[in-house]
Amino acid sequence: MQWMTKWAFNNKAAMKLVVLMALVMGVISYFRLPMEFLPSADNPMVTVAAIGPGYDAKSMETEVTDKIEDAVQFVKGKSLMTSSSGNGFSKIDMSFDSKTNMKDAKAEVEAAVRSVQLPAGVMTPYVVQLNTSMIPISWVSVGLDGVNEADRERVEKELINEFKKIDGAGEVSLGGQSTPSISIVPDTAKLEAKGVPFQSLMGVLQGRNVSASIGEKTIGGASGNIIVEANVNDLETLRKLPVAQGVTLGDIAEVKADNQQESISSLNGKDVLMLTISKTANANAVKVGNAVEDTVDRLNKDIKGVNIQVLSSTSEQVVHSVNSMLREVLMGALFATIVILLFMRNLRATLVTIVSIPLSLGITLYLLQMSGVTLNIITLGGVAVAVGRLVDDSIVVIENIYRRLQKEPFSTGLITDATKEVATAITSSTLVTVAVFLPMGLLRGSLQAFLLPFALTVTYSLLSSLLVALTVVPLLSAVLLRNTKLKEHEGSKRFSNFLNWCLAHKWVPLVIAVVLLVGSVGAYMSMPKGALDSSSATNLNITLEYPSETPHDAVVEGGRKLESFLSKRNDIDWVLMQNGNSSDGAKYGEVSSPSLVTYLVQMKDGANAEKVIADVQGQRPSFKGADLNAGAMDFMSGSGGTQVLVDVTGDDLDAIAKGAEQVVAAIKPVKDVLKVKTNQEEKKPVYTFQLDPAKSNGQEVASQLQGLLNPIPLGTVTIDNRSTNVVLQPSANPQSENDLNGLTIMTASGPVEVSSVAKLVKSDQPSVFYHKDGKPYVRVMADVDPKQLSKVGSEITKKVNALKAEDGVTFTVGGASADQSSDFADLGIIMIIAIGIVYLIMVLTFKTLRAPLAILCSLPLAAIGAVVGLIVSNVSPDFTAIFGALMLVGIVVTNAIVLIDRVKQNEKSMTIREALVEAAATRARPILMTAIATISAMLPLVFGSSESGSIVSQSLAIVVIGGLAAATLLTLIIVPCVYELFFFMKSRRQRVSKNLEHAA
């Protein structure tokens, strides 16, 4: 690397231009980099969602879910398929392996679903493959109180079109709207009095509302088309339509204007429409978000009677995240500067060192733009973590130059020679740190998509800082330190004496280190591994679910009650309540039970989310029979649930049910399990008409009963220039089994009660049917204290593994703890591979196997500080903490490399022990400076608030700070002791020979 330094001195003018270009390109790249909240990442899952209004759970299972499952069972790359079928909805989730091309997988699923023939009334299924780019960037509420009914549809379409015109806007969905319709409500008494069967009403529009082409004929010498038109264009015309001889529709039914509402959306207790706007994959989230806000302002002025409000925008969160991370980066750089100034006690030397920060960041931003990486909380987190390391190489270079200038006269040769002395060490240490991130290419799926931008950011930053340290720092040193008088600095004699004693009594420091290591490992094993902290969350997800047999009016009433409780709180900004399934929701794979009410809650600044969650859960007694849950909203994993799941699968339903009961009984007593339930606890009464085939046609009876009990769409008519659905409302409203038996149907012999041709049987069936790879299964769900997630997950796994299941029944433990264990295992494998790469680089650097092994001994020392840091701060280790441990592999060994590199240089003229003592005394200052600078730069991450979804969290910073602090202090003692042990025979011969020389 010496040639780089020489080139810089031989091309000073070019270096000035390069430095200026790096700064300018960095600034330009910063403003040109697309900003978004999260990097683009495919979810390796395809969801098929279907809505069937009026269909019960069993019908949705047999008529929809089973057919779709059969069609997609041979889709390539599919690793798991689960489904749920409930009242009016069907949802099939297909997971794919990490090598699958998700675009091809989605296309194959779409083709398979198109081939399925579904029953009438079931909407065309939506096939969804989610990407982080599809996360809506804006949630917009629309109040239409000042708009009359006739103009509502026009205004709704205008709003959607205006938002779709925004450059970079993707999907624009509208929810909560009501569709104008015409209801035909039969009067049973009048039907009987007129002798008109209910079935006659089903064909009332047949042939009445047509436009038919007859053909082309020559009329009056000219060719012309002949058309027959029959239009029903007002309610009065509809009422006068004949249904029987001398009987019109108005004689036997009420015909009225009505509204069909797919779903309910309410903001702070007031019904609204909800617009969700996403961006295209390559669009800038901030620009699109700002355009949405501008459009809202314009539409509020242009359209009278509307009240449009941006509830939430990820563009605001992106800007907040960018500003927050930049603030922490700047504070980190300031702290690092103060540390350098305190150690060097020379302003010019400090300026030379910190110039690496803006230059390295400028080069990094340019490389990120060239790599197609966006500016998001992951990449900014990488900058925040790397900022302390940006000055490390420069510190080592300037400190060596500074130390040489204290003893020797200034010259350009001295500058280049001092840089050459440490070039190998800083190059090796930087490559080692970068190498830690290489195995991230082995990660699978979305985890790779999230960690790779972080790894690229850190890699670009560190390589840029190495380049600056070998070129710009020596060049600036030659300019700024030319006429500087430097006071000679001597190493600490006390430290040298202490190290000599430790080398003479190696067993003392080594035993102490081993005891500390064993204690820290034991402490870590007993520590609960928690989920991500939610106290600073800005959004909450709350669900209120009633038993499926609960009348819809009662569900909505309970939902309004909880909405009122939330809206009155001072720490909540707004509450959005939603209920029901809509076609727009199905586009995102969102279908659920009609008895489920969901709430999206926006917290006010500074509010304690955990307190709100606890208060909401405290309201459970007020909603008897309902299941009330609340959790923080996490953009990386949805609502921050911490459930441990146990799936019980098999072929026999009774055996599966018994297995589920075994699991529930086994895990209920486990400590820190808050609640245990299954997906089949809730059952709904089902009334089955068992027909005698000799007396009636089952298909005809089913069709008639469906018409009697459910709304039937008859077609559309054009009223006031808008297409309006005509719906035949049910003529019967049975309240008892007797009422059901008394329903009248038409047979070949005339109208009869259904009880004369069928037997009514009541049974209880699940309200939702679940399949796993096409087979029924029961899922047992255990809500767990988030801070005890791994501990409870392990205990539940032990309990489940100890159970003896019936033949054909299997238990599978999954959920949050399993996902956490999988992530931990992936990072553990990466850590092992990273250590191997680090060792290889050091072997290539030092040309020996033993010296790198001595350096690797600094890694266990870092574990001591990391665990102590977590214990002192009372922070549970989570995924980000383990990621911090991975980073330590690259950071910690750099100090030992700098030390051993000096030892190797000294061994040319000294004994091993003398080389160790001199190297430790000489390198102590740069090692302490780099470590303290890195620690100081990460302090803002400890005391700041980490962004939702960011991998740069408090626990990561604590692990890195604690591990680096312990490793730095112990490296100066333990690594020399281990190094001398590896060369024990040679060192002993040297000492004996030297003693003999002194004796002579």
Q: What is the DSSP string of 72-89?
A: HTT-TTEEEEEEEEETTE
Task: For the chain, state the CA radius of gyration.
Answer: 36
Paired tokens of 674: 């808050």
Structure confidence at residue 528 as a pLDDT band (50, 70, 90) = low
Paired tokens of 308: 């449009």
Cα–Cα distance for residue pair 277/588, rounded to 1 Å? 12
**What is the reported pLDDT for 197?**
78
Q: Which fold has domain 44-129?
A: Alpha-Beta Plaits (3.30.70)
**3-state SS assignment for residue 118:** coil
Question: Mind giving me the DSSP string for 148-170?
Answer: -HHHHHHHHHHHHHHHHTSTTEE
Which residues, in sequence order, are CB contacts of 778 under 8 Å at separation 6+? 647, 648, 656, 657, 659, 660, 678, 679, 680, 770
The most confident of the ranges 167-171, 236-240, 465-469 is 465-469
For residue 938, which amino acid is it? M
Burial label for 676, CB within 10 Å (0-12, 13-18, 19+), is buried
**What is the reported pLDDT for 541?**
87
pLDDT tens by residue, 77-92:
888 899 989 888 899 9
What is the domain partition of the chain in residue ranges?
Answer: 1-32+346-485, 44-129, 493-526+848-1000
**What is the reported pLDDT for 682?**
67
Paired tokens of 509: 């420091």
Please determine, for residue 146, whether its predicted confidence score (pLDDT) is greater than 90. Answer: no
Please determine, for residue 73, whether its predicted confidence score (pLDDT) is greater than 50. Answer: yes
pLDDT tens by residue, 282-310:
778 888 888 999 999 999 998 888 889 88
**Percentage of the chain surpassing pLDDT 70?**
89
- Number of alpha carbons in the 13 Å side-chain half-sphere of residue 126: 18
Given 2.170.130.10, 3.40.50.1780, 1.20.1640.10, 2.60.40.1260, which CATH number is that of 493-526+848-1000?
1.20.1640.10
Among the listed residues 719, 743, 721, the one whose alpha carbon sits nearest the alpha carbon of residue 732: 743
- Of the listed ranges 154-158, 160-164, 418-422, 618-622, the least confidently predicted one is 154-158
Among the listed residues 942, 867, 950, the one whose alpha carbon sits nearest the alpha carbon of residue 388: 942
**What is the reported pLDDT for 636?**
45
Burial label for 587, CB within 10 Å (0-12, 13-18, 19+), is middle
Residue whose tokens read 């700098």:
898
**What is the reported pLDDT for 818?**
52
Burial label for 849, CB within 10 Å (0-12, 13-18, 19+), is exposed
Cα–Cα distance for residue pair 890/156, rounded to 1 Å? 56
Hey, do 1-32+346-485 and 493-526+848-1000 end up sharing a CATH topology, with the first three levels equal?
yes
Provide the H-helix boundaries in 90-184. Answer: 102-114, 149-164
pLDDT tens by residue, 563-579:
999 999 998 988 988 88
Give 605 or 118, the one with higher predicted confidence: 118
Mean pLDDT score of the chain: 82
Q: How far is CA 427 from the centre of its chain?
A: 36
The residues with which 996 forms a beta bridge, in sequence order, are none
Classify residue 872 as left (phi > 0), alpha (psi -120 to 50) or beta.
Answer: alpha
Give 520 or 994, the one with higher predicted confidence: 520
Residue whose tokens read 């403003």:
31
The residues with which 628 forms a beta bridge, in sequence order, are 544
**What is the reported pLDDT for 949?**
42
For residue 501, which amino acid is it? W
For residue 837, which amino acid is it? I
Paired tokens of 505: 């009594």
State how far the alpha carbon of 141 is from the alpha carbons of 285, 313, 510, 670, in Å. Answer: 19, 12, 65, 44
The mean per-residue pLDDT over the stretch 919-939 comes to 86
- Element of type H or E holding 326: helix 314-344
Which residues, in sequence order, are CB contacts of 869 under 8 Å at separation 6+? 958, 959, 961, 962, 963, 965
Cα–Cα distance for residue pair 591/881, rounded to 1 Å? 35
Query: Given CA atoms 339, 340, 344, 346 in this order, what sign does their dihedral have?
Result: negative
Please determine, for residue 199, whether its predicted confidence score (pLDDT) is greater than 80. Answer: no
At 540, give phi and psi (nearest 5°): -120, 150
Paired tokens of 483: 């006429």
Please determine, for residue 441, whether its predicted confidence score (pLDDT) is greater than 70. Answer: no
- Number of alpha carbons in the 13 Å side-chain half-sphere of residue 133: 19
**3-state SS assignment for residue 889:** helix
**3-state SS assignment for residue 274:** strand
Among the listed residues 767, 842, 766, the one whose alpha carbon sits nearest the alpha carbon of residue 548: 767
Q: Within 10 A of 609 (CB to CB), how many other CB atoms are there?
A: 23
State how far the alpha carbon of 429 is from the alpha carbons of 381, 862, 889, 892, in Å. Answer: 22, 16, 11, 9
Which residues, in sequence order, are CB contacts of 353 under 8 Å at separation 6+? 340, 344, 391, 394, 395, 398, 473
pLDDT tens by residue, 401-412:
888 888 888 888
Please determine, for residue 946, whether its predicted confidence score (pLDDT) is greater than 60. Answer: no
Dmax (CA) of the chain: 140
**What is the reported pLDDT for 284?**
81
Strands 722-728, 178-186: pairing is parallel
Cα–Cα distance for residue pair 886/20, rounded to 1 Å? 35
Give 882 or 929, the one with higher predicted confidence: 929
pLDDT tens by residue, 24-50:
999 999 888 887 777 777 778 899 999
Structure confidence at residue 821 as a pLDDT band (50, 70, 90) = low
For residue 29, which amino acid is it? S
State how far the alpha carbon of 108 is from the alpha carbons of 80, 105, 771, in Å. Answer: 16, 5, 21
At 514, give phi and psi (nearest 5°): -65, -45
Cα–Cα distance for residue pair 69/161, rounded to 1 Å? 36
The CATH number of the domain covering residues in 1-32+346-485: 1.20.1640.10
State how far the alpha carbon of 903 is from the alpha carbons of 494, 600, 909, 910, in Å. Answer: 19, 61, 10, 9
- Of the listed ranges 71-80, 133-142, 436-445, 970-979, the least confidently predicted one is 436-445
Cα–Cα distance for residue pair 364/387, rounded to 1 Å? 11
For residue 227, which amino acid is it? I
**What is the reported pLDDT for 637?**
44
Please determine, for residue 66, whether its predicted confidence score (pLDDT) is greater than 70. Answer: yes
Q: What is the pTM of this model?
A: 0.72
The mean per-residue pLDDT over the stretch 694-707 comes to 78
Cα–Cα distance for residue pair 192/361, rounded to 1 Å? 84
Classify residue 372 as left (phi > 0), alpha (psi -120 to 50) or beta.
Answer: left
**What is the reported pLDDT for 376?**
79
Which residues, in sequence order, are CB contacts of 224 under 8 Å at separation 6+? 216, 217, 218
The mean per-residue pLDDT over the stretch 686-702 comes to 81
Is 959 within 8 Å of 881 (Cβ atoms)? yes
At 447, give phi and psi (nearest 5°): -60, -40
**What is the reported pLDDT for 447?**
63
**Percentage of the chain surpassing pLDDT 90?**
17
